[in-house]
Structure 1
Amino acid sequence: MNTRVIIREVLKTIVKSENVKIDEPLSKYTFTKTGGKADFLVFPETSKQVQDVYQYAMKQQIPVTIMGFGSNLIIRDGGIRGIVMSLKKLNRIQIKGFKLIAQSGVAISDVSKFALSQSQTGLEFACGIPGSVGGAVHMNAGAYGGEIKVVLMECIVMTKNGKLMTLNKGQMGLSYRKSRVAEQGHIILEATFELKPGNYEEIRARMDGFTLQRQEKQPLEFPSCGSVFKRPLGYFAGKLIQDSGLQGNQIGGAQVSTKHAGFIVNIDKATATDYIKLIQHIQNTVKSKFGVELETEVKVIGEDLE
């Protein structure tokens, strides 16, 4: 048996055989609908399976890439070598009093809706964030004046050495779109949020208001990776892009949204290369006109096409 067949068969002993895919196009799993193939794409269903796949890969010196919802991600057109682990099937939510415990693969918007169903307040701001719990905690996601660090209590993570640890909020080092967990390369497996009792109708009204704002302002009709750039100190990224005359600019099938300049949308079979070139063009133009360096909020990974 060749090496690829051996790796595939071992992975099938760790997770269900239907949860192992070979040469799978990652464009099927990203919000931009772009990205090359993964050598191996694996969908573990438990933290133990995540740990076992990771430890096997470490022993065999196979690179591992963790993928959540693919909402804040651009995967280059050459794809990703080694094993990609999608955590989408780690999707359990439970509640203990006012502690809401969610596995990393649950949509953070679904956690927000679950909190609503329990008349618990604190996660309304997350009702429209298009990512997983793991991704939201990893980057301390926020919207409408709220952010993850306000409600996060603790997390279970797997370290780069394949060990499980529980970290409290202070140990997470959460700041604007950053966390110590991300810097140290830990993998988030589960998060506990501390919520408060609230009134169902009032919580729903806030969430409905946020949803309406999102629908009015964001280009939800096209594939996109959400807000592309972090907010520069003292500025708004979308305003800088708009004032640079870039709204509507297009490279290949990727376009600076005409509805919200902070978004890049896939309007016509865009490639990841189109996205990356347009991001660089925006950064260069804004730096030239305003002297401001735009830092990407979206993460770019993978290999270029040869």
Structure 2
Amino acid sequence: MFNKQKTHDKLLELVKAENIKAEEDLRNHLYTKLGGKADFFITPTTYEEIQNVVKFSNEENIPFTLLGNGSNLIIKDGGIRGIVINLTHLNKISSEENTLVAQSGSRIIDASFHAMEQRLSGLEFACGIPGTVGGALYMNAGAYGGEIKDVLDYAYVVDKQGNIVKRLASELDLDYRTSNIPDNGDIVIEATFNLKPAKYEEIKAIVDDLTYKRESKQPLEYPSCGSVFKRPPGYFAGKLIQDSKLQGTNIGGAEVSTKHAGFIVNKDNATTTDYISLIEHVQKTVKEKFGVELEREVRIIGEDIE
């Protein structure tokens, strides 16, 4: 177990005091509004600060966890030990000719809209994805037929040793909702996308259509982690759940959405335990009825309450 006071004193040398919070309630940073506390919650404002925190955690053997804007994540009720690094202060987006560069803490939605304003096509599919750019690379986010791997050129990451390294898109093993970024222990800090020039009206028409589809079909009125399950080969997760008569099923305050069966919503002050139990119930029921294994798309991390 690490010394919290010593850790706090050292972090003050590496990151501005206003960007360090002890015993931070993580539910304030998650779309599900669930989860326990972090020992230390750090919001770096420079790449050097990220490097310094990674190197320090390595030297002192202190666990650290990377957190985007919490859109595809469930954190257990016991919270997270060690250091949680949140990059949402690193949110600059710029473009030049057919290239868009976005820091990892910027929202992929904002990158999509920036591209539209600059008459650049290719990121329209991301106009409704709530995660950060870093999170989008982490899981090769996609929607409505488009994926990050279709437009990503390269990324800069902080590796496990605290070095800044350039990774080409071809080096990231981008596949359906996966990449090698977590296995490598990389922290994405910046991404460069190759886009194509197009008319503003044409791009906006696509964005408006996708936005309508998302808002009309997804239960955005309740906290949720987004789509819970990956699409099984040959099936649609939502259809399997719907055909299993699971819509409206609840455990505690968590409920399988009646609007879109692929979503589980925090309907009434759910705990993470409620949420996870309902996920497991859905998986078990679909397996029994259709013989199909539903694999989670959402990540579950953190500690159980002792």
Q: Would you say same fold, with TM above 0.5?
A: yes
Do the aligned residues in 1 keep the contact of 2:124 with 2:207 (CA within 8 Å)? yes
> Residue type matched to 2:232 in 1?
P
1:163-178 aligned at under 5 Å gives the runs 163-178=163-178
Residue of structure 1 in register with 2:275 after alignment: 275
Residue of structure 1 in register with 2:257 after alignment: 257
> Residue type matched to 1:187 in 2?
I
Distance 2:92 2:11 in 1: 23
Residue of structure 1 in register with 2:104 after alignment: 104
For normalisation by structure 1, the TM-score amounts to 0.98
What's the CA shift string for 1:40-83, capped at 9, x where partnerless? 00000111111101111110110000000100000000000000
Distance 1:156 1:302 in 2: 27
SS in 1 for 2:203: helix
1:130-209 aligned at under 5 Å gives the runs 130-209=130-209
Residue of structure 2 in register with 1:127 after alignment: 127
Q: Could you tell which deviates more after superposition, 89-98 or 274-283?
A: 89-98
Following TM superposition, where does structure 1 have runs of at least 4 consecutive aligned residues deviating by more than 6 angstroms?
none
Gaps of at least 5 residues in structure 2 are none
Do the aligned residues in 1 keep the contact of 2:224 with 2:263 (CA within 8 Å)? yes
For normalisation by structure 2, the TM-score amounts to 0.98
Distance 1:15 1:205 in 2: 43
Distance 1:254 1:192 in 2: 38
1:222-241 aligned at under 5 Å gives the runs 222-241=222-241
Q: How far does residue 161 in structure 1 lie from its aligned partner after superposition? A: 2.1
Distance 1:45 1:97 in 2: 27
Q: Could you tell which deviates more after superposition, 129-138 or 13-22?
A: 13-22
Please tell me the root mean square deviation across aligned C-alpha atoms, in Å. 1.0
Gaps of at least 5 residues in structure 1 are none
SS in 2 for 1:286: helix
Q: How far does residue 3 in structure 1 lie from its aligned partner after superposition? A: 2.7
Q: How many residues align?
A: 305
Counting aligned pairs with the same residue, the percent is 57
Q: How far does residue 183 in structure 1 lie from its aligned partner after superposition? A: 2.6
Q: How far does residue 115 in structure 1 lie from its aligned partner after superposition? A: 0.4
Q: Could you tell which deviates more after superposition, 278-287 or 162-171?
A: 162-171
Q: How far does residue 96 in structure 1 lie from its aligned partner after superposition? A: 2.2
Q: How far does residue 122 in structure 1 lie from its aligned partner after superposition? A: 0.4
Q: How far does residue 295 in structure 1 lie from its aligned partner after superposition? A: 0.4
- Does residue 25 of structure 2 align to residue 25 of structure 1? yes
Do the aligned residues in 2 keep the contact of 1:139 with 1:182 (CA within 8 Å)? no
SS in 2 for 1:167: strand
